[in-house]
Amino acid sequence: MRNGIVGTPLDLAARFAQPINAACAAANWFPYVVAAIQHNETNGLANAATVISDDGGHGVMQLTSSYPPNWAEPYANVLYAIDNFLQSAETYWARELQGNDLIRAIAAEYNAGRSQAIAGHEAGNVDLYTTNDYGQRALGTYLKLLAGEVV
């Protein structure tokens, strides 16, 4: 556990558990948080690895602003999201947040960008500018996964 967030590997019954666990092990990051964000991004689509959404999101993490050339490979997609977005979000928000609040802020930033997440946080709701309370939904999924529920 780091910053109040569980870092143990996902149960292998979780969707994309193997590539998420492998990428998180390589980056020393949180599989349950990645799985929660991944679920928010693709709503459990079976073809999530190769889907390109209407807004240009690529693969399991729905990378939009940039993505690796092998974006359809789940491990590469997840590792890219961790290396380019999630780790920096953790570093920024962990200065003042821990545990569930930190997870919400990381997820809100992933969805809306840092400046929007900061503006929301300063206004009292980190999800103010996210899509459908993205951070809170990611936190809910994280807690369900920790409880052993399949999402």
What are the pLDDT digits (tens) for 62-91?
A: 999 889 999 999 999 999 999 999 999 999
What is the model's pTM?
A: 0.96
The pLDDT assigned to 45 comes to 84
- Can you tell me the mean pLDDT for 2-12? 95
Summarised one tens digit per residue, pLDDT across range 99-151 is: 999 999 999 999 999 999 999 999 999 999 999 999 999 999 999 999 999 87
CATH class of 17-146: mainly alpha
Q: Which residues make Cβ contacts (< 8 Å) with residue 147, sequence separation at least 6?
A: none
Cβ burial of 124 (10 Å; 0-12, 13-18, 19+) is: exposed
